[in-house]
A = this chain, B = another copy of it.
Amino acid sequence: MGNRVEIIGLNGIPEVREGDDVGRLIIDAAEAQGVSLEPGDVIVVKQKIVSKAEGRIVKLVDVTPSPLALQIAKDFDKDPRHVEVVLRESRRIVKMDMGLIISETRNGLVCANAGVDASNVGVEEALCLLPEDPDGSAHRIRTTLEGKTGGPIGVIVSDSIGRPWRNGIVDLAIGVSGLESLRSYVGQADDDGYELKVTVVAVADELASAAELVTGKVERSPVAVLKGYAFTGGGGGARDLVMDRDKDLFR
């Protein structure tokens, strides 16, 4: 009895290269591991393998830093080419201090370095960028997976993100397809009959965080299968998680 959700890490995904079909890699890894993909499953995929498959890799030798990038790099003791790529990936700088650049990406995600990452790139002296359209990436993976299961699958592309006020990063949803990112309790009465006025839960973020419990950073397990979570299907995406600027106290 009681709600049950199972989270299974897939660990047979090979090193991903540009042009790889991530959905197909997931199907193969699940099969090899004896995990049956079924309608109703939620698949959480780390951004890094999605970016690699989409060729979102920039070699440092190909980057010419702008004067601003050179200045910031000098102040923050960073590689100016890395800073340049961060600036190019940013739509807006939210905060720049203490050696950190917090910026908003073109997709509305606010995070350090616009998600540009130098670890686990698979290419020397290179940087990995976020997918250009993570909702679109999730949609493509979902199409492949639903072709296999014949029924609805939720797909989340996740990335590890720092938070104000709290230590440590957590995995959150940066791309979503096939499930509503937000679950609303607006207007439902609680046990006391008290009306919950504005309770909206970011379930896509919670699913991404849950997936991280089985996909470690150094364990080559970039995909998790979540079974038993009754998600609401829908046409939204991770863009639903981006707060409107006029409602945000910390813009």
Do A166 and B202 touch across chains, with their CB atoms under 8 A apart? Answer: yes
- Nearest B residue (CB) for A96: B249
Complex CA gap A220/B2 in Å reads 11
Residues from chain B with a CB closer than 8 A to the CB of A241 are: 166-168
Do A2 and B167 touch across chains, with their CB atoms under 8 A apart? Answer: no
- Give the interface residue-count category, chain A: 35 or more
The smallest beta-carbon distance between A40 and chain B, in angstroms, is 13
A64 CB-CB contact with B under 8 Å: no
A62 CB-CB contact with B under 8 Å: no
The smallest beta-carbon distance between A184 and chain B, in angstroms, is 9
Do B34 and A1 touch across chains, with their CB atoms under 8 A apart? Answer: yes
Do B210 and A190 touch across chains, with their CB atoms under 8 A apart? Answer: no
**Known pairs A11-B2, A196-B218, A221-B2; A164 contacts B164 (CB<8 A):** yes
- 14 A-B residue pairs with CB within 8 Å: A2-B8, A3-B8, A3-B221, A5-B7, A94-B165, A110-B166, A120-B194, A164-B248, A167-B240, A167-B242, A170-B202, A171-B206, A188-B217, A206-B210
